[in-house]
Each structure stands twice: as C-alpha cells, then as structure tokens.
Amino acid sequence: MKTNRIFISALLLAFLGLSSCDNYLDPEPHDRYSEMIAWKSLENTKLYLNSFYKNLREYGSNGVLVFEGRMTDGLTDQVKYGSNAPGEGNPNIIAYEPTKITPDQNSLGIWADAYNKIRRINEFLEGLEQYGSFDATTTAQLQAQARFVRAYLYHLLTLRHGSVVLLDKTTTNPANPRSTEAECWDFIEKDLDFAIENLPESWPAADEGRITKGAALAMKSRVMLYAKRWDKAASAAGAVINMAKQGQYALAATYAGAFKSRSEGNKESILEFYYQRPDLVHNWDYDLAPGGDNPGYGAKATPTQNLVEEYETATGEVVDWTPWHNGPTTQTPPYAQLEPRFHATVLYNQATWKGRKIEPFAGGRDGYFDYGYEAYPSGKTTTGYFIRKGLDESNTELALNRSEQSVVEIRYAEVLLNYAEACYMMGGKESEANDAIREIRQRVGLPYTNLSGESLFRKIRKERKIELALEGHRYWDLRRWKLAHTELNKIRSTGMKVTKQSDGTFLYQVIDVDGRDRLFLERLYNFPIPSAEIANNTALTQITPW
C-alpha cells in the first residue's frame, strides 16, 4: 500500500539514547558504545534516522511542543480554553495580554529545543558523509529524510522570527549571526528540493511510513506560502495534484473520512502520525472529549460560536443568527441544516455522540460553566460546544488516556487550498484557483460560482478557515497574511449558552465568553529571540522592534 504514516515508537526513538538501545541493536559490548555503531549497518543507521521522525509529531500542527501542548487555535476566534489559570489557561492569558510574550518568556517559542534537534540532524548528516558506506541511492534517501525534518524545523523557526541563524553543520563557534529572511527561505527550499528529488513516491513494505516525495512536495506547497514564493508553492502543489490524477491521492468521499488513517483507505492523507496501543498513544480524547465521556476530565478547549457562525447551510445559504444574539429564545439553532463540515467538527446540544445526546448545559451530563468562575473546566464547556474533529467515537478507555487514532498532518485538501491561494497571488491564474475551491466544496455538496479579485481571496481565506478548522492553521495563516492585528485585535469570543427548563425545553442565547477584549500587537508578527540565546551568541542581535 502506498502510504506515508509515521510510526512513533520506542524502536524508532531509541537510537539517540544509545545506552538504552541494547534490546534493539546488540552489536558490541553494551558498556562501550561509540558513534561508529550508527554506521555499522543500514539497520542501525535507519534507527538513528528514525529518531528524527519524532520531531515532526512533536511540532505538528497541534503538537505537544508547538504551544506547550495547547492548540494555537485558542489564540484565535475558533477555540476557547476553559481555564483561566497559568499553564492550561495560557491561550487566554496571551490572547488578553500579548505583552506576556517577551524575550524572556514566550510559550510559543521553540528556539532552544529546535536548534538542539537541528544540531542532532547535522551530526547525523556529517556522520553519514564521513562514515557511511551505502550505495548512492540509499545514502541520498537517508539524507533526504533528515533534510526534510531539518527544513520543517527551520520553517517553524522562520515563521516565528522572520530571521534566524542558519547552521548546516555542527559548530563550536559562539558567534553566529542571523541570516536574512530571504536566505532562511532559500535554505529551507533547498532542503525540501533535495528531499523531493531523492525520495520515492512510495516505499517497500519494510520501510512503510517514511517520508515520500508527495509529502515533501505537499510540505513545500505549505512552506512557500509563508515565504510568499507563489510560483514555487503553485508548482509544488500542482505536482501533488498531478500525482492525484494518477491515483496516488484523492479527497476522501466524506469530510469526516479525511481524518482516518491511510491504512483505512484514506487517500487524502499525505503525511500522518500513526499510533498503536498500549504504549504508542496520545491524549487528544482525554483532553478534549465531552465531560460525559470521562467525568471530571476533558473539554479543555471548546469551539466558539464565532466558528459555528462561519458555516453555511447544506445548500450553501448564510444563516441569520440574530434571534439567538437577541435571546434567550426557545427557538432551536439551525444546527441540523448546517453543512457536513460542521457536523464533523463540532458537537452541540442534543447532537448524537457515542449512542447518547450531548448535554452542554448546567446540570447536564457534559456540563457548562461561565468562564472565569472555575480555574479548570473539568470536562464542562464554556461555549456550549465540544470538539468532535479528531476524536475517536469508539474510544472507551479515556480514563487510561489511550488514544491511538492517526493524526493527519497534511491532507490533499490543504494542498488544493495552497494551490488556490498561490494561483490567485501569482495573478492570471484565477481560473485554476476557482477550480481548486470548487473541488473542495463539491466534496461536501456545496455550490460554487467563480469569483475574481478580492472576492476570490476572501473566499480562499474563508474556505481555509472552515476546511482546516481546529487543525492548527488559523493563527499562523492570519500572521502570514498580516491580518492578525485586525482580525484578532479587540475582538471577543462568543458561545451558545443552553439552559434546560423544567418542562424539558431549552433556552438558547449567544453570550460573550471572554469578558474582555482579545488583543494582537503588530510586533508579534516576528517573535523576539530569547535573551539567553543572545547572551550566549555574541553575533546574534534581537529582532526589531524587540
């Protein structure tokens, strides 16, 4: 099967801690490992390389190292975190007080950890060149995978800071200046191009799960949007689209099916992280499932009314939410009329879930509380909604924190959206942009009429907001479009408060769930470099205007 799952396992992650690898390698006396063991066999070298795959999962769109395990969508109008306490409530704290981001404190920063990982990759590449004795094709494929991960880490650093230190080899030099933003994107593009040139479209069964040419192309289509290199983004996305025409990729038949594993027949998955019980698990369900699934836990982050109101009806009509803004009212919100992407993303009052009805109200099985009155949500919602996207409805072991559903990092729908945006930005290719948007909407049965100019760009942004909702793109999209200081500034998140009356009917009312304005400072388009790094690097200067 042509697949690109990334296996996160003790076996794959073991190599860097050589003293703990005796169960897997067993090549020499266990108390005298040297770096040469990494190059003694192709199997050993692959184990070394496999350790870098963990970096992709940790820094994926909603990875544990991106925002200290919190969703960056919590900094936008899509998600509300229920906690107001430091740590779990950091998305609220930063959204209300962006001055909390400083050169000495930035929970969105990854500088030190990312450079540590980059150093390890450079060590691998240098060791492979010096000690490896594999054929040219094998060597290039090993290099290509490592350079893909290095490019991924550097793109995360560059989108945060705009200008970073480029290191393509290990060094003890304490003076390393920042490169220009253009040089940073050049470096990243070069690594991705090497990966594209040297990776196969699919791997044999023994290497199933490794990075493929299609994944490298898809990643390039994403990265080149940040670089504003529209022709490069369009070309990379176009290459993936051509692979889809040959049967390699395709939109899933249903939107909900887009988040299944490729091993389950989901050809929309281009890059995914694969898990397996009992040890290779994650905490998506434990953290985000409705409280009724695991009483006292879950619902740390919940969708907002702002997001819900972005969805059209199943026939493409705009909903008038005025009655609920003027509530309370017994009129049931038009949830049942909304398009399929809503139903696959959001759980709402009386939605069917695990053979029961969702109860997001005070006294209900899932529960509700007004934001600010409890430090932690304990499974209750502050918005009247719960996240559905990404949850495993068959998971009955939430108390054991055992989620094993695959996490799809890049899917074909994103590539189509990347292509649409790049074509629009290039100029003269609005027809291609419209075709890509139409394909996205046709999957969920929505009509589409060709647009042009600014109307087309607004539509592209709107489709990204809906299609990629809660997948970790919204905050970074608004930053790269330089729209965050308007769309995320002086706004408030809203929710739908549901009250169950004594006769069993419900009152609905849209309410402010923030209580204060969310703010975005323009200087946040480039985060500051940590003060400690500047102190340690005599050639490193701070980002303006920090």
Q: Which one, of 308, 366, 304, 310, lies nearest residue 511 by Cα?
A: 304
Sign of CA dihedral 510, 511, 517, 520: negative
pLDDT of residue 377: 84
Within a domain: 204: yes
**Burial label, 258 (beta-carbon count in 10 A; 0-12, 13-18, 19+):** buried
Within a domain: 295: yes
* The domain boundary residue, chosen from 258, 279, 300: 279
Q: Does residue 290 share a domain with residue 207?
A: no
CATH number of the domain encompassing residue 84: 1.25.40.390
Q: Does residue 101 share a domain with residue 235?
A: no
Percent of the chain predicted with pLDDT > 90: 89
Within a domain: 422: no
Within a domain: 438: no
**In contact, 240 and 221? CB cutoff 8 Å:** yes
Q: Does residue 80 share a domain with residue 60?
A: no
pLDDT of residue 302: 98
Within a domain: 436: no
Within a domain: 437: no
Query: Six-digit token pair at 111?
Result: 């500088």
Q: Does residue 125 share a domain with residue 102?
A: no
pLDDT of residue 278: 84
H-helix segments, 64-110: 90-96
Q: Does residue 187 share a domain with residue 58?
A: yes
Q: Does residue 239 share a domain with residue 204?
A: yes
Within a domain: 414: no
Mean pLDDT by 10 residues, the chain (546 residues): 43 32 36 73 96 95 92 97 94 97 97 98 97 97 98 98 97 94 98 98 94 98 98 98 98 98 96 90 95 96 98 98 97 98 98 98 97 90 98 93 94 98 97 98 98 98 98 98 97 98 98 98 98 96 95
pLDDT of residue 15: 32
* Contacts of range 192-198, beta carbons closer than 8 Å, 24 or more positions apart: 192/147, 192/148, 192/151, 192/216, 192/219, 192/220, 192/223, 193/220, 194/143, 194/144, 194/147, 195/144, 195/145, 195/147, 195/148, 195/151, 196/220, 196/236, 197/144, 198/140, 198/141, 198/143, 198/144
Q: Does residue 309 share a domain with residue 371?
A: yes
* The domain boundary residue, chosen from 227, 248, 279: 279
pLDDT of residue 426: 96
pLDDT of residue 373: 85
Q: How far is CA 246 from CA 193, 240, 262, 507, in A?
A: 22, 10, 17, 52
Q: Does residue 99 share a domain with residue 228?
A: no
Q: Does residue 162 share a domain with residue 19?
A: yes
Within a domain: 57: yes
Domains held by the chain: number: 2
**Bridge partners of residue 105, in order along the sequence:** 102
H-helix segments, 248-361: 284-288, 305-308, 322-325, 340-343
Q: Does residue 385 share a domain with residue 335?
A: yes
Q: Does residue 528 share a domain with residue 474?
A: yes
Range of the domain at 299: 72-106+281-389+469-546
Q: Does residue 158 share a domain with residue 37?
A: yes
* The domain boundary residue, chosen from 264, 279, 294: 279
